[in-house]
Amino acid sequence: MERFEVIIIGAGLAGLAAAYTLAGEGIEVVVLERGEFPGAKNVSGGRLYLNPVRPLFPSLWEDAPFERKIVHEGITLLAKEGSVALEYSGEELRRPPGHSFSVLRSRFDRWLAERAEERGAAILPNTLVERPLVEQGRVIGVRAGGEDLAADVVISCDGALSLTAEKAGLRTPGFPRDYAVGVKEVIALDPGKIADRFHVSEGEGSARLYLGEVTKGMFGGGFLYTNRDSISIGLVIRIEDIGGEAARSVPALLDEFKERPEICSLVRGGTTAEYSAHLIPEAGLRGMGKLYGDGIIIAGDAAGLALNLGLTVRGMEYALASGYYAAQAFLRAKGKRDFSAPSLEVYRSLLDDSFVLKDFRNFAGTPDVLDNPRYFEHYPELAAAVFRDLYKVPAGSKDTLFSTVRRHVDLKEIWSILKDLKKASAI
Amino acid sequence: MSENAGLKAKLGLDVFKPLGKPHIRIRPGMEKDSRLKAAVTGCPAGLYTENEKGEVTLAIDGCLECGTCRIACGTDVLDWNYPQGGEGVQFRFG
């Protein structure tokens, strides 16, 4: 049986971060990737926030294939007819080295894989891991492409479904309540048009979030990111909410979103280049699976390390960081020549002390607060109705502004808003 | 263009490598299970359809391998695996 020190399953951000870190320490590491090349199966919205992960990979970022540096942050409340938009622009978003960047994962992950290979990591594409090899409750390797491969530790970074962890008995299949599906189109568009439509200069870009009618009131939202010469546009919906009373299909929702006047003017003249879909773990701390076992560490989406924070949805930094800490945990375990679960527990404490699980603890209450239909239907409609009437010049005389607002925001409404605010204090 | 034709055209933009055998199957006898309804509306590629007898069928070509159906329907209803290495969708943008 061929033997490695570490086998990593999945060339996504977690797996590649682990491979890059381990190879840099001279560890014999192989990454098994079922796609034709690293990145071929990977999808994100997507935007990467660099601040939390910059120090973990100090020399990495200089020539990273980022699409655009995000300098405008927009949120739009979409009502059935009409919308209210807010945009934040800040000099600190613009200042080097930059706060967040749009990425296209197929390009980005291929680049990261090359950096790991330069350091000596082996990456095997076209290789599906069928199952982990388990002996007396201990993971000793994997079966892949009809062959058995052995390792001191398997780092499982096989994505949100986490089939390896499931087959190793470390977790059970997920629930519709804890996952969302994201669908996305990449629409090729001339960079000059992107600059004009989003008010950005070369290399700079815009990120937008859409709430309300985009999901017909279901838990989720729409997103838009500008890339170098394309726009990523899509929506995210909780799986539990799909196929309810409204029963609008997910592809139809994306089409309707794109037809909104707020959107179609932004993508006009562009051509769709790719259509993709991906699963997102959204349960936060409650949905986090087991992080390690005997001979196995789980990182990235596979460990449930993604968070919906309302204004920001995060996963890629957690994937990169958990891959890094998985590598650190292996190095410590190697020092003791002990790859049992108690020895690998250091992975959990490294994550505990890092921004990863600090964020998860800080935002443990967020999924329950966001699980409030008022955010996805009532507030967008209310905001649009208030502004509609504030701007309206009727045939006769116009009401005072205060009474116009009060017509929509009566005592009962104020009471409901206060109740939502009280709950939102857990955010 | 009908909704379905539009979706097929969109999927036609993606790069797919031929599948050896279907990697997802509705388990025999489960075709009328109500959990499949969520796959009919939720599958981003629109691969699940319900016929007039109330049975759901799955046409695997165009699968984006997202896993929505596995989460929505569960493993009692679906025998769900990834395609073999190098098969299925290969994202160029992602």
Here the CATH number for the domain that contains residue B11 is 3.30.70.20
pLDDT of residue A1: 87
pLDDT of residue A287: 81
CA distance between the termini of chain A: 50
Give the tokens for residue B70: 């596995």
Return the residue of B nearest to A161 by Cα.
B67
In this prediction the ipTM stands at 0.97
CB B91, CB A41: distance < 8 Å: yes
In chain B, residues with a C-beta closer than 8 Å to the C-beta of A230 are: 93
Answer yes or no: do B71 and A252 touch at CB < 8 A: no
The highest-level CATH class for domain A2-65+104-171+289-353 is alpha beta
Per-residue pLDDT of chain A (427 residues; tens, 9 = 90+): 899 999 999 999 999 999 999 999 999 999 999 999 999 999 999 999 999 999 999 989 989 999 999 999 999 999 999 999 999 999 999 999 999 999 999 999 999 999 999 999 999 999 999 999 999 999 999 999 899 999 999 999 999 999 999 999 999 999 999 999 999 999 999 999 999 999 999 999 999 999 999 999 888 999 999 999 999 999 999 999 997 655 789 999 999 999 999 999 999 999 999 999 999 999 888 888 789 999 999 999 999 999 988 778 899 999 999 999 999 999 999 999 999 999 999 999 999 999 999 999 999 888 888 888 899 999 999 999 999 999 999 999 999 999 999 999 999 999 999 999 998 887 7
Number of domains in chain B: 1
Q: Closest partner residue to A279 among B6, B14, B71, by Cβ? A: B71
User: Domain span at residue B22?
Assistant: 3-90
In chain A, residues with a C-beta closer than 8 Å to the C-beta of B37 are: 243
In chain A, residues with a C-beta closer than 8 Å to the C-beta of B10 are: 185, 251, 272, 275
Give the tokens for residue B74: 């569960």
CB A48, CB A139: distance < 8 Å: no
Backbone torsions φ then ψ of A185, nearest 5 degrees? -115, 140
Q: Closest partner residue to A250 among B17, B44, B92, by Cβ? A: B44
**Of 2.40.50.100, 3.40.605.10, 3.30.9.90, 3.90.1210.10, which CATH number belongs to A177-281?**
3.30.9.90
In chain B, residues with a C-beta closer than 8 Å to the C-beta of A144 are: 85
Nearest to A255 by CA among B63, B37, B65, B2: B2
Return the residue of B nearest to A144 by Cα.
B85
Distance from CA of A67 to the nearest CA of B (A): 11
Provide the residue ranges of all domains of chain A, joining segments of one domain with +.
2-65+104-171+289-353, 177-281, 369-424
Q: How far is CA A311 from CA A40, A269, B32, in A?
A: 28, 29, 39
| A167 residue type, one letter | K
Answer yes or no: do A44 and B67 touch at CB < 8 A: no
Count of C-beta atoms within a 10 Å radius of residue A426: 11
pLDDT of residue A366: 87
Whether B22 and chain A come into contact, CB under 8 Å, resolves to: no
**Chain mean position to CA A308:** 8
Q: Closest partner residue to A161 among B10, B46, B67, by Cβ? A: B67
B/e letters for B18-45, b = 16+ CB within 10 Å, e = fewer, are eeeeebbebeeebbebebbbbbbbbbbb
In chain A, residues with a C-beta closer than 8 Å to the C-beta of B43 are: 250
Tens of pLDDT, residues B2-56? 668 899 999 999 999 999 999 999 999 999 999 999 999 999 999 999 999 999 9
